[in-house]
Amino acid sequence: MSLTDLQQRDIDSLLHPYTNHHLHQSQGPHVITGGEGIYVTDDQGNRYIEGLAGLFCASLGFSEPRLAQAAFEQLQRMPFYHAFAHKSTQPGIELAERLLAMSPPSMAKVFFANSGSEANDTAVKLVWYYHNAIGQPQKKKIIARQRGYHGVTVASASLTGLPNNHRDFDLPIANILHTDCPHYYRYGLPGESEAAFVDRCVANLEALIQREGADTIAAFFAEPVMVSGGVILPPQGYFAKVQALLRKYDILFVVDEVICGFARTGNMFGWQTYDLQPDMISLAKQLSAAYMPISALLVNDKIDQVLKAQSEKIGSFSHGFTYGGHPVAAAVALEAQKIYQERDIVGHVRRVAPRFQAGIRRLGEHPLIGEARGVGLVAGLEFVRNKQTRETFAPEQSAAAYAGRRAQAHGVITRGLGDTLSLCPALIIDEEQIDDLIARIERALDDTLVWAREQGLVDV
Ligand code: PLP
């Protein structure tokens, strides 16, 4: 049975976080003027815990002086140079070497860009270029997942599996397909085990590959954890079976680590947490702790060899961005990486994550929360009208959105996406701050319950 109808109904109600502000246009923007550690302040002097580390990215908080210093020093030393025509810069080279040393041994090259979207668009172009080069020009289709998020540029928005990122933008473009969102709690059938659900997802993926023709499927894109789509964790055994299919049909695997990369899931990368063997990896956000825009696409040796040979044949490799690998951004990213290492950020996340996840699980006992889920320092609380039936709220009466507004009133910036309230604080959060964060969210949930009762939306 296809999950598509169920998911379509569900994702039709999903508003992407980056578009939420359109709802509140009449109020004017909430102006954030400063930050300290995990907190930000607004122009009215209110202080908030940034519950999403901005957009899942300000890993070292909002006041790390070493990152500012790194930018300042690089601006004085060499404010700009590009990476075209055999040119490069010192911080770019050092950062690339560092990233490769942290990556699976199969990774051979790093391509720098300025955003996660650009890294993923680059991956799409390289998937196509590679298959032309190896004489398989028919192998061009790319499979991503419903509720996945990969960005907003033309190709990456096409990969994104959220309808509002497509609607009226004439997207997705041709050759982009979507398969099931593997969210067991929401899409598992009554009485279906997690293992049976995984088998159904994988069978549907295989059916899609066969229907389209395996010789036309070039690549599969996935986030280790689907954070923007509602913090959806892969069910047990899912990726092992998906990867077996990818190998069987000779399909490249592009792992989008834009949010999971750099300790978010309790390992340096999501590919480590879920035992993934990528052909390409996209990185952004926490790469520079978000202090400067920079992203990277890592490419394995098999693809790199082909790209090199083909570019020599053509006479150039004509892809690159003016600011790709900008030396100031690279210097800041390099400093962020040094800080991660010196302060053992992975060790820190592992130490505090159990406290965070225990708090989240406690919130899962709240009458409005159907599923409380998470890994490392990212979590989602999924709202339901009824815990037994898992019935959701209507999109126009979104309890998650209401709870997000109440959280802000209680001093936490976060957002409800669809039915899920997400939490993804700066990685430097300590246990006391975690307790404070959870307590504030609990107050927001209690307010939401009062509201839901007043609106006659719940029986509890
Ligand atoms: N990939 C993932 C998994 C993301 O979460 C995002 C942004 O949230 C992107 C790609 C796009 O990154 P950017 O907004 O930097 O283009």
pLDDT, position 16: 42
- Full domain range(s) for residue 267: 65-342
101 and 53: one domain?
Answer: no
Q: Which ligand 1 atom is the nearest neighbour of the CA of 228? A: 5
pLDDT, position 10: 53
Peptide bond into 172 cis (omega under 30): yes
Q: Which 8-state DSSP code applies to residue 386?
A: B
Is 225 part of a structural domain of the chain?
yes
Residues contacting ligand 1 via CB (< 6 Å): 55, 115-117, 120, 149-151, 223, 227-228, 256, 258-259, 284
Q: Which of 174, 125, 139, 74 is nearest to 319 (CA)?
A: 125
Last residue of a domain, one of 311, 342, 373: 342
- Give the CATH number for residue 355: 3.90.1150.10
For the record, the structure tokens of 254 come out as 């592009």
223 and 264: one domain?
Answer: yes
Nearest Cα residue to atom 12 of ligand 1: 116
Is 11 part of a structural domain of the chain?
no
Q: Which ligand 1 atom is the nearest neighbour of the CA of 118? A: 16
97 and 195: one domain?
Answer: yes
280 and 140: one domain?
Answer: yes
Q: Which ligand 1 atom is the nearest neighbour of the CA of 293? A: 15
209, 131 contact by CB (below 8 A): no
Q: For a pocket test of ligand 1, which of 117, 152, 257 has the largest count of ligand atoms closer than 8 A to its C-beta?
A: 117
3, 180 contact by CB (below 8 A): yes
Inter-CA distances, 428 with 61, 63, 89, 124, 329, Å: 7, 11, 30, 34, 21
Q: Give 410 Cα–ligand 1 centroid separation in angstroms.
A: 28
For the record, the structure tokens of 408 come out as 């802000």
Q: Give 155 Cα–ligand 1 centroid separation in angstroms.
A: 13
* Spans of the chain below 50 pLDDT: 1-2, 9, 11-24
Q: Give 53 Cα–ligand 1 centroid separation in angstroms.
A: 14
| pTM of the full structure | 0.95
- Give the CATH number for residue 72: 3.40.640.10
59 and 71: one domain?
Answer: no
Is 137 part of a structural domain of the chain?
yes
Q: For a pocket test of ligand 1, which of 14, 112, 145, 150 has the largest count of ligand atoms closer than 8 A to its C-beta?
A: 150
Q: Give 365 Cα–ligand 1 centroid separation in angstroms.
A: 31
Is 25 part of a structural domain of the chain?
no
Q: Give 152 Cα–ligand 1 centroid separation in angstroms.
A: 8
Q: For a pocket test of ligand 1, which of 160, 228, 269, 288 has the largest count of ligand atoms closer than 8 A to its C-beta?
A: 228
Q: Give 451 Cα–ligand 1 centroid separation in angstroms.
A: 33
Q: Which ligand 1 atom is the nearest neighbour of the CA of 18? A: 8
pLDDT, position 26: 62
95 and 166: one domain?
Answer: yes
71 and 58: one domain?
Answer: no
Is 18 part of a structural domain of the chain?
no
Q: How far apart are CA 379 and CA 362, in angstroms?
A: 12
Give pLDDT tens digits for 12-49.
Answer: 444 444 444 444 456 789 999 999 999 999 999 999 99
End-to-end CA distance of the chain: 33
For the record, the structure tokens of 271 come out as 């590919």
Q: Which ligand 1 atom is the nearest neighbour of the CA of 115? A: 15
405 and 315: one domain?
Answer: no
Q: Give 133 Cα–ligand 1 centroid separation in angstroms.
A: 28
pLDDT, position 460: 83
Q: Give 264 Cα–ligand 1 centroid separation in angstroms.
A: 14
Q: Give 309 Cα–ligand 1 centroid separation in angstroms.
A: 31
Q: Give 118 Cα–ligand 1 centroid separation in angstroms.
A: 9
Last residue of a domain, one of 342, 361, 380: 342
Q: Which ligand 1 atom is the nearest neighbour of the CA of 152? A: 16
Is 24 part of a structural domain of the chain?
no
Q: Give 314 Cα–ligand 1 centroid separation in angstroms.
A: 32
Q: For a pocket test of ligand 1, which of 19, 285, 295, 424 has the largest count of ligand atoms closer than 8 A to its C-beta?
A: 285
305 and 424: one domain?
Answer: no
Q: Which ligand 1 atom is the nearest neighbour of the CA of 151? A: 11
Q: How far apart are CA 37 and CA 93, in angstroms?
A: 30
Last residue of a domain, one of 342, 363, 383: 342
When divided into structural domains, the chain yields a total of 2
Q: Give 387 Cα–ligand 1 centroid separation in angstroms.
A: 32
379, 421 contact by CB (below 8 A): no
Q: How far apart are CA 443 and CA 23, in angstroms?
A: 24
Is 230 part of a structural domain of the chain?
yes
Q: Give 109 Cα–ligand 1 centroid separation in angstroms.
A: 21
Give pLDDT tens digits for 205-234.
Answer: 999 999 999 999 999 999 999 999 999 999
Amino acid at 142: I
290 and 435: one domain?
Answer: no
Is 17 part of a structural domain of the chain?
no
Q: For a pocket test of ligand 1, which of 223, 232, 259 has the largest count of ligand atoms closer than 8 A to its C-beta?
A: 259
Positive or negative, the Cα torsion across 61, 66, 70, 75? positive
295 and 258: one domain?
Answer: yes
Q: Give 143 Cα–ligand 1 centroid separation in angstroms.
A: 17
Nearest Cα residue to atom 5 of ligand 1: 259
Q: How many CA atoms lie within 13 A of 440 on its CB side?
A: 22
Mutual angle of helices 399-409 and 431-454, in 10-degree steps: 130
Q: Cβ atoms within 10 A of the Cβ of 433, count? A: 19
Q: Which ligand 1 atom is the nearest neighbour of the CA of 114? A: 15
pLDDT, position 28: 82
271 and 349: one domain?
Answer: no
Q: Cβ atoms within 10 A of the Cβ of 35, count? A: 19
